[in-house]
């Protein structure tokens, strides 16, 4: 029995979801970003309780097939951009998603746009800009290193995209000293 | 003013991360004033040991602390200063601490100086003067070195320079300072 959960983006989310499952007394086989595999089918009442517990932490149970696929796309993009493993930038996003979800990209793209109101590409750009913000705040890498680590073809490309999305240049953003980061699941 | 300390934390990306960090810090007994993605502000006194403790507590959850570049710079400057004004340093002719510092750190003096003033709330020059004065006190009390010796060891241009700076800092002349402490030492022996 697989449950689909919205808004899981990191290891802490997995941890919190695990705690909720345990406190709801539901045994599980495994937990990944976006989905949980339960040993048994939960009763309607158990499901209700779990949904309530999850909601308190900003998660949501997804019943709708379409939203489940959209969430899978999001999870794939978030793990790709924010995950620990090195990305293969030669692989196009469309190819990556196709491989991950085993579904036709055209279908995915139309579905995503109609449900979310933004295209997959745009969503990926927003996520990547968020990663840039995070790295800028750490003040460990300079802009060209950041551009390189995120697969931008050049610093100019990154700066342009950053300015277009945030309205600020990366250096201006850094000087602001204000924290303008967004939670990943709110993008 | 109430003391505050800002920490930059690596790995925070969502609301759950914020609540996790908050729980961990609460349990460890830190007063969190503000938590945002990637940065927290703690109130109260924060020491180097606390830094380590926070790091250890957060590590199991996949977070780490980002070392502040400016604080790192300031620490580097202090370490260098300690080395140079230890009493054993072989000062070259025309020695200038700012120049040595810029060479060692590999940044322009203005940048280092600005970072130092920002994090330490005291300029490098003032810190140097205070440090050197403390060192003079140490030599005065614990060694029998003459003022000329001390001036030489700590690279004062002359005994007059040392005395003037010492007086400006402490209000006492070096010899007066020495006599007070010797008197203290002898009286405590007698009693």
Residue B32, strand partner residues? B42
pLDDT tens for residues B22-72?
999 998 888 888 888 888 888 888 777 888 888 888 999 889 888 777 888
Does the model's ipTM exceed the 0.85 cut?
no
B160 contact A CB<8A: no
pLDDT tens for residues B65-95?
887 778 888 888 999 999 899 888 888 888 8
Residues of A in Cβ contact (< 8 Å) with B61: 11-12, 15
pLDDT tens for residues A141-175?
889 999 988 889 999 999 999 999 999 999 898 88
Of B20, B37, B61, the CB nearest to A181: B37
**For chain B, give me the number of helices (H) and strands (E)?**
9, 4
Residues of A in Cβ contact (< 8 Å) with B15: 57-58, 183, 185
CA B183 to chain centre: 31
Residues of B in Cβ contact (< 8 Å) with A57: 15-16, 19
Of B16, B39, B69, the CB nearest to A12: B16
For residues A36 and A28, is the Cβ–Cβ distance under 8 A? yes
For residues A101 and A73, is the Cβ–Cβ distance under 8 A? yes
Separation in Å, CA A67 to CA A5, A64, A71, A94: 10, 5, 6, 19
């Amino acid at each position: 029995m697989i449950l689909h959960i919205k808004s899981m983006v990191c290891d802490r989310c997995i941890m919190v979801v695990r705690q909720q499952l345990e406190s709801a007394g539901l045994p599980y086989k495994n937990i990944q970003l976006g989905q949980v595999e339960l040993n048994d089918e939960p009763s309607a009442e158990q499901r209700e309780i779990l949904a309530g517990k999850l909601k308190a932490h900003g998660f949501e149970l997804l019943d709708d097939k379409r939203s489940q696929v959209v969430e899978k796309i999001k999870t794939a993009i978030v793990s790709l951009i924010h995950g620990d493993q090195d990305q293969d930038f030669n692989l196009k996003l469309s190819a990556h998603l196709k491989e991950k979800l085993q579904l036709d990209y055209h279908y995915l793209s139309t579905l995503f746009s109609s449900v979310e109101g933004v295209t997959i590409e745009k969503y990926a750009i927003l996520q990547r800009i968020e990663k840039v913000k995070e790295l800028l705040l750490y003040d460990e890498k300079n802009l060209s290193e950041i551009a390189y680590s995120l697969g931008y073809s050049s610093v100019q490309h990154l700066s342009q995209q950053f300015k277009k999305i945030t309205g600020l240049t990366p250096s201006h953003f850094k000087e602001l000293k204000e924290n303008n980061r967004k939670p990943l699941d709110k993008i | 003013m109430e003391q505050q300390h800002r920490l930059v934390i690596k790995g925070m990306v969502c609301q759950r991360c914020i609540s996790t960090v908050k729980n961990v810090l609460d349990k460890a007994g830190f007063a969190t004033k503000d938590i945002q993605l990637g940065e927290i502000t703690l109130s109260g006194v924060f020491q180097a040991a606390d830094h380590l403790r926070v790091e250890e507590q957060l590590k199991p959850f996949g977070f780490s602390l980002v070392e502040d570049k400016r604080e790192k710079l300031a620490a580097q400057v202090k370490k260098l200063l300690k080395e140079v004004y230890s009493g054993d340093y072989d000062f070259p002719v025309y020695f200038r601490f700012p120049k040595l510092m810029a060479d060692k750190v590999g940044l322009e003096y203005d940048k280092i100086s600005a970072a130092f003033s920002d994090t330490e709330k005291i300029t490098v020059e003032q810190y140097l003067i205070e440090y050197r004065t403390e060192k003079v006190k140490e030599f005065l009390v614990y060694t029998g070195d003459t003022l000329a010796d001390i001036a030489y060891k700590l690279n004062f241009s002359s005994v007059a320079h040392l005395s003037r700076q010492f007086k400006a800092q402490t209000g006492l002349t070096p010899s007066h300072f020495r006599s007070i402490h010797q008197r203290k030492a002898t009286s405590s022996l007698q009693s």
